[in-house]
Amino acid sequence: MPELPEVEVVRAGLEPAVRGALISSVDVRDERALTRHTGGAAHFEAELTGRRIAAAVRRGKFLWMPVADDEAIVTHLGMSGQMLLRVPGAPEERHERIRIELEHPDHGPLSVVFADQRTFGSLAIDELVDTPDGAAGGRGSDLARVPTQVAHIGRDPLDPAFSAKRFRARLARTSSGIKRVLLDQTAASGIGNIYADESLWAARIHPETAASALPTRAVNRLLGEVQAVLEKALAEGGTSFDAQYVNVNGQAGYFAHSLNAYGRTGQPCPRCGRPIVRVSFMNRSSHFCPHCQRLR
């Protein structure tokens, strides 16, 4: 599933194309892409036609485009969703679900295509509500509002309004393993399996270490590594293992070449040379170095 860097790459690519653009038409080609929308395809098309997009905004793994002070198009990429920019009249994409035609005041006509092979992703029109802390809802806009579908998740570690103090307090009162907490989107959003493994490896922390057992210094070190890993992945366009994870132009990221733990089962740890191990974890896997990341 795309994590923060992959979704931010998509947001940054969409932003100059959609900000200020008028929606001239909407074509829902597969209603399964509207599973989080309360109306049907006809409602989605009619409500958006003629609206103007204010920005492209992201919090964690969610992306949204405000079309008014109180409404936005919310996008969740699911496991294989893609938001692609195309010239008008471009051939239909493989697994294309929705096409939105835009008229941009500077760039002219453009098409935004939502394609999704596994159909777990979705678009929806959602209400915007005030943020509890009064800070911007997400990256890409100063508006202190967030869609109701996104309001339940925490701020991500790259958000200027992210509270390290609040995060440390959350860890102090839970005995769950630290990786489980990192994957909890209400604690800190945007971190998935890949970047949790990479951050824990960098911080030399075993994924099953009880969160409450971590001293403040270790938590601060982990937060620093989380931010560093996410920033590096973002600079490298995210992690792409196949053609499903691409930017708005269909290009893959290359952070997979920088991975130190995730997906490197049996390969030597880049730090100590001992083999990386893989263990079952929450219907997924954890990858770590048992020598560098000892369970204490």
Instruction: Quick: pLDDT tens for 112-131.
Output: 999 999 999 999 999 999 99
Residues 241, 134 within the same domain: no
3 an active-site residue? yes
Catalytic residue, from 166, 274, 284, 294: name it.
284
Residues 9, 66 within the same domain: yes
From 94, 120, 147, give the residue that closes a domain.
Answer: 147
Mean pLDDT computed over 166-178: 96
Let me know if residue 92 belongs to a domain: yes
Instruction: Name the binding residues for DNA.
Output: 95, 118
256: exposed, middle or buried (Cβ count in 10 Å: 0-12, 13-18, 19+) = middle
Residues 139, 274 within the same domain: no
Let me know if residue 214 belongs to a domain: yes
Residues 86, 199 within the same domain: no
Residues 132, 186 within the same domain: no
Residues 136, 229 within the same domain: no
| CATH number for the domain harbouring residue 192 | 1.10.8.50
From 147, 174, 198, give the residue that closes a domain.
Answer: 147
pLDDT in tens, 46-92: 999 999 999 999 999 999 999 999 999 999 999 889 999 999 999 99
Q: How far is CA 238 from CA 21, 142, 202, 216, 234, in A?
A: 27, 25, 18, 29, 5
Over its C-alpha atoms, the chain yields an Rg (Å, rounded) of 20
- pLDDT of res. 261: 96
Residues 99, 191 within the same domain: no
Burial 28-63 (b: 16+ CB within 10 A, else e): beeeebbebbeeebeebbebbeebbbbbbbbbbbbb
Q: Give pTM, 2 decimals.
A: 0.92
Range of the structural domain that residue 205 is part of: 164-288
225 an active-site residue? no
- pLDDT of res. 284: 87
Is 189 a residue whose pLDDT tops 60?
Answer: yes
Judge whether 287 and 53 are in contact, CB under 8 Å.
no
| CATH number for the domain harbouring residue 50 | 3.20.190.10
Residues 209, 76 within the same domain: no
Let me know if residue 156 belongs to a domain: no
290 an active-site residue? no
Percent of the chain with pLDDT over 90: 85
- pLDDT of res. 91: 94
Is 240 a residue whose pLDDT tops 60?
Answer: no
Is 241 a residue whose pLDDT tops 50?
Answer: no
Mean pLDDT computed over 252-265: 79
Token representation of residue 90: 């471009």
From 147, 179, 202, give the residue that closes a domain.
Answer: 147
Residues 252, 119 within the same domain: no
Least confident window among 79-88, 91-100, 220-229, 247-256: 247-256
Mean pLDDT computed over 180-204: 96
Is 161 a residue whose pLDDT tops 60?
Answer: yes
Is 242 a residue whose pLDDT tops 80?
Answer: no
Residues 219, 98 within the same domain: no
Residues 245, 273 within the same domain: yes
Residues 232, 174 within the same domain: yes
Percent of the chain with pLDDT over 70: 94
Let me know if residue 294 belongs to a domain: no
- pLDDT of res. 44: 98
61 an active-site residue? yes
Catalytic residue, from 58, 61, 97, 139: name it.
61
Is 293 a residue whose pLDDT tops 50?
Answer: yes
Q: How far is CA 35 from CA 44, 119, 156, 200, in A?
A: 12, 9, 25, 34
Catalytic residue, from 3, 8, 71, 225: name it.
3
